[in-house]
Structure 1
């Protein structure tokens, strides 16, 4: 698994794929979908698909693939290598959703929650398989949200393909277990080798599980919270855990807005207006400086919105 495309810029999402087995282009196939890293406040979420011919279902089962959460890291790595060795009939694809992508999506002006992001990612991966020539006849999915509604949504999106959506599908269908293993191995490797773009010095990589209730994770979040710039992009800043810490430990900032007098609004909140950081040279025009500052922040806001 070559992670270098994502490691080159882990602020954006990235798709990694295996070769498409020729047999998957000529025989009817099944495909499983699962994810890894939905709950953690640290690191990416990885969506994975795995597919193989219907005639190879038993061989996939004989590999003893299982829900990745029930396996040790060594067992997952071993099973992933078995899937790679079976490349003559097993294919996979992964979508690595960066922490920055997740938080930016969730903080859009128009509502776009984690379930919607998960559904869209899964649909894109299925469409990738179809566009690559995989002859899909069956899709098995570990549910996100109500299983019946998700099943109807996927069935309508992919007519002619039998769709099965179940809770704990990764423990019921080997092809979903295989997708779960691919996704979990990728996430573990990415987290372990995370390249921090920020200048943090020698980073303590003992972040624990990454889940909000993990004491090690909480301690790491406190340690690496910059009072002005917030968190490195390794952190999902939209998570309530991160937001609560920023609200209580970071510097309060009032963002000046053209619709309100920024200086007066900041004073009411016992805060400092961002405009106050723009100095005016002797004999300069304060009004022009204010206009320049407003233009600066407007351009920043527009640039931010254009990335959503």
Structure 2
């Protein structure tokens, strides 16, 4: 799994494909879909598909694949290596969705929530497999939202395929378990090797589990908030946990066309951030200033 393209620019999404086995181009195949990292406020979400010939499902099951959440990191890595060694009948595709893309998508003017984003990503991955020559016959999906509605949506896009959407599909169907393992391994590797564009050299990079209810994650979010520029790109700033901290710790912005004049008068101006202070801040300047070679001056 070569993640170098995403690691070079983790602000944009990235697609990764294995080679398509010859058997998958000539025989009817089962395809499973699952994701990793839906809930965390930190890091990307990774959607994965795994496919193999219908007649080789027993061989896939013999690899002892299981729901990735029930496995240790070492077990997932070992099983991913086994899937790679079974390249004569197993293939996969991964779509890494950057935190920046997730948040900007969810904050569009037109409503586009995480469920819709997940559905569209899954549809795109199925289509990619078909375009790559995989003879997809059956699709198994771990549900996002109501299973019946999701299944009907997929059937409308792919009327010739047999589609099954069920809760806990990653523990019911080996091909979905395999997809779950591929997605989780990719996310774990990306998060572990995340390249921060922001200057966080002196920051504590122990951010806990990354889930919103983790006290260590909340503390990390508070400590690494720039009052003007917000969070590092590692953070999904559209999550309510991040929004609450932004509202309480960041410098508010008042728009000239606001209808709430009273609130505008009481709010602190953004210009106050640039006002001269008696005590200097220990926080390093944001990369915005370094990239533009800007320095703070006290007089003109």
TM-score after normalising by structure 1:
0.85
**211-220 vs 184-193, which moves further:** 211-220
**Cα distance in 1 between the residues matched to 2:234 and 2:262:** 33
Counterpart of 1:141 in structure 2 is 141
1:211-270 Cα offsets, whole Å, 9 max, x none, are: 0111211111111111121100000000000000111111111134xx4699x7775233
TM-score by length of 2: 0.87
Partner of 1:238: 238
Write the deviation string for residues 250-299 of structure 1: whole angstroms up to 9, x where unpaired. Answer: 1111134xx4699x77752333266x98xxxxxxxxxxxxxxxxxxxxxx
Partner of 2:33: 33
User: Does the aligned pair in 2 maintain the 1:50–1:176 contact within 8 Å?
Assistant: yes
Root-mean-square deviation (Å): 1.9
* Structure 1 partner of 2:2: 2
Give the secondary structure class of the aligned counterpart of 2:164.
strand
Aligned residue in 2 for 1:192 = 192
Q: CA deviation at 1:175?
A: 0.1
- Further displaced range: 64-73 or 212-221: 212-221
1:70-94 CA distances to partner (integer Å, 9 max, x unpaired)? 0000000000000000011100000
CA distance in 2, matches of 1:237, 1:271: 22
Q: Could you tell me which residue of structure 1 aligns to residue 208 of structure 2? A: 208
CA apart distance, 1:204:
2.4
1:297-308 aligned within 5 A: none
Which stretch shows the higher mean deviation, 200-209 or 218-227?
A: 200-209
Relative to structure 1, the CA distance from residue 161 to residue 72 in structure 2 (aligned partners, 3 Å threshold; closer, same or farther) is same
In structure 2, stretches of 5+ residues that fail to align are 275-300
Q: Distance in 2 between matches of 1:261 and 1:65?
A: 57
Distance verdict in 2 for CA 1:13–1:26, change over 3 Å: same
CA distance in 2, matches of 1:89, 1:71: 23
In structure 2, the residue corresponding to 1:134 is in which secondary structure? coil
- Separation in structure 1 between the aligned mates of residue 228 and residue 270 of structure 2, nearest angstrom: 14
Greater shift, 265-274 or 191-200, is seen at 265-274
